[in-house]
Amino acid sequence: MQRAAIVLSSFTVSKPYLSLNEITSQLGASKATAHRYTKALRAANLLRYDERTALYSLGPQVLTLAGAARAGLPIVDAAEPYMDQLVKTVDETVVLSVWDGETATVVRSADNTDHIIRIGVRSGARLDLTNSAQGRVFCTFLPRDQVPGLAKHLRRSPGLEQELEAIRKHGLSLNSPDINGVRTIAAPIFEGSSIVAAMAIVGTTVSVSTDIDSPQAQALLETTRALSQRLGNPE
């Protein structure tokens, strides 16, 4: 079981394909042993093998397990009533994301709005680290050594540092890039003094304002602060 876990955890966003030699190296075992484990994981649909490239990748069953794991996160149960109330208040899609070690990953989306144009966000979606409002929230409030590649992003984009400072000051990420007419504003959720999730309002550039004093922004801020207080954040 431990070796199977080692094989699966060897795959990352930056390294989604591995050869048998690379898996063997990760296991620290013989190639025959590595082959035996990859065969068993393929039978369980946890691994895929491309005969053309001779490379392995994670299989579809991993998505099912990941979904079950996300659904079982305590923050999802804690946030659900707050998200549902926020949807009723702002009449926009509300999304909850957690940090997966590399970026923000959506764990719940509430989109039961009355708009003709409804913005849906898929649970399990991994968001861009610096070009998403929720990604920027994690960049702001996580220790920087826990955000892979952040130093490089800051060197390449001088304006990003000022944006993160503004997010820290106001507690809101309002200036995320507008992509395909979609606009997102996000705020952190703290458990104690540590960020545990980000909550966001997602809508169109027409329906969602970037004004920090807008009713939507203030409703989001009040919601995340109330949830954070429930989770032990004193502020």
Measured CA distances, 139 to 39, 97, 132, 180, 233 (Å)? 39, 13, 10, 23, 19
pLDDT in tens, the chain (235 residues): 778 888 888 887 678 899 999 999 988 888 898 999 999 999 888 899 998 999 999 887 776 666 656 555 788 889 999 999 999 999 999 999 998 888 898 888 988 666 666 677 777 788 889 989 999 999 999 999 889 889 999 999 889 999 999 999 999 998 655 567 888 999 999 998 899 999 999 988 888 888 889 999 999 999 999 999 998 887 7
Question: Which pTM was predicted?
Answer: 0.72
> Do residues 210 and 183 touch, judged by C-beta distance below 8 A?
yes
80-105: b (≥16 Cβ within 10 Å) or e:
eebbeebbebbebbbbbbbbeeebbb
CB 154 within 8 A of CB 160: yes
- Per-position DSSP letters for 82-127, written without gaps between them: HHHHHHHHH-SEEEEEEE-SSSEEEEEEE-----SS-----TTPBP
The residue type at 25: S
